[in-house]
Chains A and B, each alone.
Chain A
Amino acid sequence: MARAEIRNRIRRLRFEHGEMTQQELADRVGCTRQTIILLEQERYVPSLALALRITRAFGVPVESVFELAEEEGT
């Protein structure tokens, strides 16, 4: 699979929220730490439900965490 076309700022937001660990975020949103790592590396595109739980954990709107990647060459 090609790299996910959804970019995210999860790693930066974790650090801006008291250096929250990957495990803490995983526990808050109800997923495994492995999934958080893959999300941060943009190797996995979350479901809408997980994306919304992540934005809720940071208390920010969806577009502050996720954005659609620009297509190459545009």
Chain B
Amino acid sequence: MSVLMWAVLALLGGLAVVWVGGRRAQPAREPLPEGVELPATARQRAAWGARGAGLLLSGGAAAGVIVNGPDRTYEDDGVRLLFTALVLAAVAAAAGVTMWAKRPGAKAGALDERDQAILAQAPAAQAVAVLVTLAIWTVGLTERFHGAGAVPVFYLYLLFWSCLLVNLLAEPVGILAGYRRS
């Protein structure tokens, strides 16, 4: 299996752990009767924004690596800078919206006790998700480069950014899982 496939697997593995962990952290609520709809809270909308922006920008960075190939992405300064800029933008978007979501409410009731409980449980799977991402990367890189005895620097660079992205996306995903279930 190619390193890119391992990279995709590592990211998907991390995000899957985030989703499952988020669901397990919140007990399932009975479904609402037909016709009863829940309006999204401000924090829920912020989490959607963080997840959307983070996935879009990191997806753009991943697409750049796939289109250009890992070697060109690393060797070509322009492509590497574009990749880094996209990943940094994804990190800034996810972190920025999460920080905004956690700020003390400007209006009374904007962040109530249920919001606070959901926010507190949202990072439940964050550490495990990063560990799973790291583990899949390690297995993939070992399998691919065992014979060579060394791993190209670019893959370590990708490993770091993917762990950071999973860590940052874990929180909004955990928040969304919390609102769906509690």
Give min CB distance, A56 to chain B, whole Å.
14
Closest residue of B by beta carbon distance from A47: B113
0/1 string, A26-51, CB within 8 A of B gives 1 = 11011111110110010110110110
Q: How large is the interface on A (under 10, 10 to 19, 20 to 34, 35 or more residues)?
A: 20 to 34
Interface size in chain B (residues, C-beta < 8 A): 22
Question: CB distance B33 to A41 under 8 Å?
Answer: yes
Per the bound structure, the CA–CA distance linking A44 and B32 in Å amounts to: 11
Closest residue of A by beta carbon distance from B42: A32
- A1 and B114 contact, Cβ closer than 8 Å, known pairs A26-B109, A33-B39, A38-B38: no
Q: Does B30 contact A (CB under 8 A)?
A: yes
Question: CB distance A31 to B112 under 8 Å?
Answer: yes
> Which of B28, B30, B36 touches A37 (beta carbons < 8 Å)?
B36
Question: CB distance B115 to A32 under 8 Å?
Answer: yes
> Which of B28, B36, B41 touches A41 (beta carbons < 8 Å)?
B36
What residues on B are CB-neighbors of A49 within 8 Å?
Answer: 113
What residues on A are CB-neighbors of B148 within 8 Å?
Answer: none
Q: Which of A26, A29, A35, A47 has the most CB of B within 10 A?
A: A35
Per the bound structure, the CA–CA distance linking A26 and B105 in Å amounts to: 14
Per the bound structure, the CA–CA distance linking A26 and B41 in Å amounts to: 12
What residues on A are CB-neighbors of B33 within 8 Å?
Answer: 41
Per the bound structure, the CA–CA distance linking A26 and B28 in Å amounts to: 24
Per the bound structure, the CA–CA distance linking A32 and B29 in Å amounts to: 18
Question: CB distance B27 to A46 under 8 Å?
Answer: no
Give min CB distance, A11 to chain B, whole Å.
11
Known: A32-B115, A44-B114, A44-B182. 6 other contacts (CB 8 A): A1-B30, A29-B109, A30-B108, A32-B41, A38-B114, A41-B33
Q: Measuring CB to CB, which residues of chain B are less than 8 angstroms from any residue of chain A? A: 27-30, 32-33, 36, 38-42, 44, 108-110, 112-115, 179, 182
Q: Measuring CB to CB, which residues of chain A are less than 8 angstroms from any residue of chain B? A: 1-3, 26-27, 29-35, 37-38, 41, 43-44, 46-47, 49-50
5 residue pairs, one from A and one from B, having the closest CB atoms? A31-B112, A1-B27, A30-B109, A30-B108, A32-B41
